[in-house]
Amino acid sequence: MVRINRVHTGGGDSGKTSLVDGSRVEKSDSRIEIVGTCDELNSWMGIIVMEANRLDETADDGGSKPTVRRVRSVVCAAIARLQHELFDLGAELACPIEKIPEYMTLVDQECSDRLISEMDAWNESLSELTSFILPAGSPLVAVTNLARTVCRRLERRMVAISEGIRPLSLQYINRLSDWLFILGRWVSLRLGEDETLWKPIGERRGDRTEMIRIQDEHDDVVEKL
């Protein structure tokens, strides 16, 4: 049983902290940076749940939107599982690979394969990509894309010390980034949102200089509307 009755110990006041095996390292140590990035990713997962719970399920006729309830149910259940797995991963990453204790709960192959099966299930209803997708959209989709970029940053930092990381843990994080990308696409589809597609430079609209000037010259009109 975990018991924490005091958070502040003063042990980190000098800029050092302890790994799981008890060894002391600088807080700027690459392994601590990895642990912190894993914690950051887990925090963004919490924001995804928050945005899912903010979805408005009230229909225009005063009834409810069952699709919104389904999206919320799937997102919250899946992320809840992942937050536990990321917490376990963070503990593992805070320990040299050769000193991981036998009692520690580790992300296993089943966890990694589950990400693949869920991606495959979502992909069944998604259209083929014909362009790159920009990280934009509704709050839920946008924050899912942000979590994806943090996941990729965690992966890069894990690769930097790959000899000290279990290959399965690295596989899991690589798959999780793809999982977040596909989740964002699936949410957009289910909520009836258009994906923001990247356009070649020849198809982009011109600058907004003239529009800005016109608006600035007619602020009084805007204020009256």
What pLDDT digit, counting tens, does each position of 24-80 carry? 766 767 888 999 999 999 999 999 999 999 998 775 545 458 889 999 999 999 999
Question: What residue spans define the domains of the chain?
Answer: 16-198
Q: Is the pLDDT of residue 117 over 90?
A: yes
| Residue 107 CB partners (closer than 8 Å, separation 6+) | 85, 88, 89, 92, 168, 169, 172
Q: How many CB atoms lie within 10 A of CB 28?
A: 9
Tell me which residue of 147, 125, 126, 127 sits closest to 135, measured CA to CA: 147
Please check whether residue 126 is in contact with residue 181, taking contact to mean a CB–CB distance below 8 angstroms. Answer: no
Decide: 21 and 99 in contact? Cβ < 8 Å: yes
Counting Cα atoms < 13 Å in the Cβ hemisphere of 12 gives 10
pTM tops 0.85 = no
Residue range 128-147, pLDDT digits in tens: 888 888 898 899 999 999 99
199 against 192, higher pLDDT: 192
CA distance 146 to 44: 8
pLDDT at 19: 64
175 vs 133: CA distance, rounded Å: 18
- CATH number, domain 16-198: 1.20.1200.10
Q: Mean pLDDT lowest for which of 93-102, 116-125, 129-138, 194-203?
A: 194-203
Q: Output 198 or 124, whichever has higher pLDDT.
A: 124
What mean pLDDT do residues 165-192 have? 96
Amino acid at 101: P
What pLDDT was estimated at residue 36? 94
In the block, which residue shows the tokens 């991963």? 89
As a whole number of angstroms, the longest Cα–Cα distance in the chain is: 70
pLDDT at 100 over 60: yes
**Residue 133 — φ and ψ, nearest 5°?**
-110, 130
pLDDT of residue 225: 45
Q: What percent of the chain shows pLDDT beyond 70?
A: 77
